[in-house]
Amino acid sequence: MELGLAAKVVLISGGTSGIGLEAAKEFLQEGAAVVLMGRSRERGLAAVESLRESAEPERILFCAGDVRSEEDCRQAVAETVLHFGRLDVLVNSAGIYKEGALEDLEEETLTDILDINVKGVFHLSKAALPHLKRARGNIVNVASDAGVHGNYFCAAYCASKGAVVLFTRALALETAAFGVRVNAIAPGDILTPLTEAQLGRGAEREKSLQEMASVYPLGRIGTPAEAASLIVFLASARASFVTGAVYGIDGGLTA
């Protein structure tokens, strides 16, 4: 069975790096057009250039925007539809990770976590929904293993990703009658810039990476390509009877 993504239009928040950028590459390989939404114009244009090495430039667009802003989210959707004429798939991949004891949590940090990880998903999904209903399209959210179980010194982040998990299930019920599917992936540690920032450099990086990998039954952490492949599957015709699902991709961590 074909993936059925040729000529589809995909908007990806956080699409300029990590899982989002890797997903863009895979959607392009399947014949889709992609729109990358990110805060940094410099990083966005660099991402577009990297994608143009293997796909036609006319299938790639960058929209500068911050998912914390409802207006930016509306504008990104509007630019997508103006440029490509439709919107079929939304991937909510933008997110930040912060850890630490609750007693040390600053209100500013909590606000950032909730605004990006939770409100960003709400804002962009709300803006995209009328177009997804017309296209009978779908949404794929990037949650986390931390959204389905607790992690040490990670209460705020866990709460934010737990919200994404239940938002996914609730919105799936709300939109099913319109033929719109809503699913999520729940990755464990994936070797992205977000993860690299926790590892340090040189020998310290290798030691930290070994310690991180040691808790996974498969003995390693995941790659952006592995997470991206699951996103593309859930967005595809092969997952046409899948909605309200939260797929773990965590090397057996939550087994």
Q: Which of 152, 157, 216, 247 is catalytic?
A: 157
Whose tokens are 């796909």? That residue is 55
Whose tokens are 């709400």? That residue is 122
Told to judge if 97 belongs to the known catalytic residues of this protein, a careful annotator would answer no
Q: What are phi and psi of 166, to 5 degrees?
A: -75, -30
Residue 148, Cβ density class (10 Å: 0-12 exposed, 13-18 middle, ≥19 buried): middle
Task: Starting at the earlier edge strand, list the strands of the sheet with 89-92.
Answer: 60-64, 33-38, 9-13, 89-92, 138-142, 181-187, 246-249
Q: In whole angstroms, what is the distance from residue 140 CA to residue 125 CA? A: 10
Instruction: Enumerate the active-site residues.
Output: 157
